[in-house]
Amino acid sequence: MSAAISAPSTRRDRAWPFWPVVPLYPYGQRPTQRVEVVKDQVWAFDQFQGIFYVVVPIRMTVVRLEPEGLLVYSPVAPTAECIALVRELEDRHGPVKYIVMSTVTGIEHKVFVGPFARRFPQAQVYVTPNQWSFPLNLPLPWLGLPRDRTHILPADSAQAPFADQVDYAVLPPIDLGLGPFGETACFHRASRTLLVTDAIVAIPAEPPAIVQIDPFPLLFHARDSAADAIVDTPANRRKGWQRIALFAFYFRPSTLDVATTGEMFQEAKQAPVRSRQHYFGLYPFRWRPDWPQSFAALHNGGQLQVAPILKTLIFNRGPEEVLAWAKAVATWPFERIVPAHLEAPIVATPEQFLRAFDFLRADLALEHSKALPEADFELLQQIEGLLLSRGISRPRQTIALAEDGKKAEAKKPLP
C-alpha cells in the first residue's frame, strides 16, 4: 500500500458548502486523502467526520475496470480536492463509469451520492434496493439522484453491467421497525478485494492518518481535565484517538464519568483557553484509570469485528439473513477488506470474515458476549429497551448452527 496522497489544497479546495444537510464536524472543511490500496487497481479516499470532536474516518473506494474506467463505491463529499484526486485516476485509467450507493441506512454515506454523481454526468448510478429516508420516505430523485441514470442493483448480480469484474451481495433488508437496514458488499475480482460499508470494521490502536491532518479533536480528548492544556505529542494523539474510539462505539463507555454542570462551569474558569473551538473551556469528561483496558477489549488486537451498535441493535433482528449474506460473501476468494470506516485495508480471509458473525449463533453467542465488557454495552442495551418498549424495534433472535454450518434448530427468540 502506498503513502496517503492529498492534492495540493487550499481551504477552498476542501470546502463543503452543503455541510448543514448532515451537520457533522469538520463542517464546511473536509480534507481528503487518497491511498493506493492495490497498485493501479484499488484506491481508498478517506475523509473524517463526527460530533463533539468524536471524529472517525469515512471512506469511498474506487476500483479500476478493464479495459478502462472506474467504479466508485460509496462516495464521500465531492469537494474540489476530492474531485481533483479522482480526475487524476480518470486521466490514467479512464472515466468513472459506475457509482454504487452501497447502503439503505447509512445517511452519512447516502448524502454524498447525488452531489458526487452530478460531477460525473457520464456515470451510471446503482443503488442498493429498498431505499428509504427518514422522516419522509422520499423518492430517489428527491435525494438528489439523477433520474435518468439511476438504477436499482439487479437482484441477480450477473445482470449488472460490471458483472464480469465486480460481483456483489445485497444484505436483505432487516426490518428495524423504523425502516430496514441493508447494505451491498462488492468483490473486485482482479484485486481480490472485498468492499463493505458498515457491516464490519477493525479498530486501529494508532490514530488513522486522515484524522491526524487536523489533530485538534485527538488532543482535545486526550486531556484529563479542563485545566489541562492542549499539547501535541504522539502519545496524546494516541490517547485521544483511543478515547474517541470508545465514544464512537459505545456512546457512553463504562470507564467514563461525567462532571455535573456546576463542576463543569467551575472548572472551566481554570481552563487555559476558553475559545469557541475549546467549547469555552467546558470539559465534562472524567476518564477512570482503567479506560485503557476498556479500549484494549474493544480493539481486540485489531481483529475484524461487527461494531457493537450493529451487534446489539441491528444484526440480531435478522440473524438468518445476516448469516446467509455473510456466507455468500465468504464464497469469494478475497485477500483484503476495505470497509467504509476506520482501518483499511484489513488483510483477511473469507473464514475470518465469517467468524466475525459467530455472535449470531446461539452456540457461540455466550463466548462472544464475554469478550467485551458488559458494562460498556449498558447504554446500547438501554436504547434497545426503549426501542422495544415503544414498539419501534423487533426482539433479538439467534440461530443455533451445527458444526458443519447447517442450521440445527429453528430460529428462536432470546429470553
Please report, as ranges, the residues that interact with Fe ion according to CB under 5 A.
Answer: 106, 198
Least distance to Fe ion from the beta carbon of 128, Å? 13
Q: What is the identity of the amino acid at 287?
A: W
User: For residues 22 and 231, which CB has a smaller minimum distance to Fe ion in the complex?
Assistant: 22
Least distance to Fe ion from the beta carbon of 105, Å? 8
**Cα–Cα distance measured from residue 294 to residue 375, given in angstroms and rounded to the nearest whole number:** 10
User: For residues 106 and 180, which CB has a smaller minimum distance to Fe ion in the complex?
Assistant: 106
The three grid cell numbers given for residue 96, joined into one nine-digit string: 468513472
User: For residues 196 and 329, which CB has a smaller minimum distance to Fe ion in the complex?
Assistant: 196
Least distance to Fe ion from the beta carbon of 388, Å? 24
Least distance to Fe ion from the beta carbon of 196, Å? 10
What residues pair up with 72 in beta bridges, in sequence order? 62, 99
The three grid cell numbers given for residue 190, joined into one nine-digit string: 482482479
User: For residues 103 and 294, which CB has a smaller minimum distance to Fe ion in the complex?
Assistant: 103
Least distance to Fe ion from the beta carbon of 108, Å? 5
Least distance to Fe ion from the beta carbon of 339, Å? 9
Residue with cell 472515466: 95
Least distance to Fe ion from the beta carbon of 199, Å? 10
Cα 370 off chain centre by: 24
User: For residues 166 and 196, which CB has a smaller minimum distance to Fe ion in the complex?
Assistant: 196
Least distance to Fe ion from the beta carbon of 294, Å? 23
Cα 411 off chain centre by: 29
- The answer to whether the beta carbons of residues 207 and 237 sit under 8 Å apart is yes
- The answer to whether the beta carbons of residues 169 and 157 sit under 8 Å apart is yes
- Report the chain's C-alpha Rg in angstroms: 22
CB neighbours (10 Å) of residue 258?
11
- The answer to whether the beta carbons of residues 57 and 251 sit under 8 Å apart is no
Least distance to Fe ion from the beta carbon of 106, Å? 4
The three grid cell numbers given for residue 358, joined into one nine-digit string: 459467530
User: For residues 198 and 343, which CB has a smaller minimum distance to Fe ion in the complex?
Assistant: 198
Least distance to Fe ion from the beta carbon of 52, Å? 18
Strand stretches in 77-215, DSSP E: 96-101, 124-127, 150-152, 166-170, 174-175, 180-181, 184-188, 193-195
Least distance to Fe ion from the beta carbon of 229, Å? 33
**Cα–Cα distance measured from residue 233 to residue 229, given in angstroms and rounded to the nearest whole number:** 12
Residue with cell 432487516: 174
User: For residues 26 and 106, which CB has a smaller minimum distance to Fe ion in the complex?
Assistant: 106
CB neighbours (10 Å) of residue 358?
16
Region for residue 300 given its phi and psi (left: phi exceeds 0; alpha: psi -120 to 50; beta: otherwise): left
- CA 40, 9, 204: angle at the middle one, nearest 5? 60
User: For residues 281 and 308, which CB has a smaller minimum distance to Fe ion in the complex?
Assistant: 308
User: For residues 108 and 167, which CB has a smaller minimum distance to Fe ion in the complex?
Assistant: 108
User: For residues 125 and 196, which CB has a smaller minimum distance to Fe ion in the complex?
Assistant: 196
Q: Which residues of 161-198 are buried (b: 16+ CB within 10 A; e: fewer)?
A: ebeebbbbbbbbbbebeebbbbbbbbbbeebebbbbbb
- The answer to whether the beta carbons of residues 46 and 209 sit under 8 Å apart is yes
Which position's Cβ is nearest Fe ion? Answer: 106
User: For residues 226 and 245, which CB has a smaller minimum distance to Fe ion in the complex?
Assistant: 245
**Cα–Cα distance measured from residue 307 to residue 203, given in angstroms and rounded to the nearest whole number:** 10
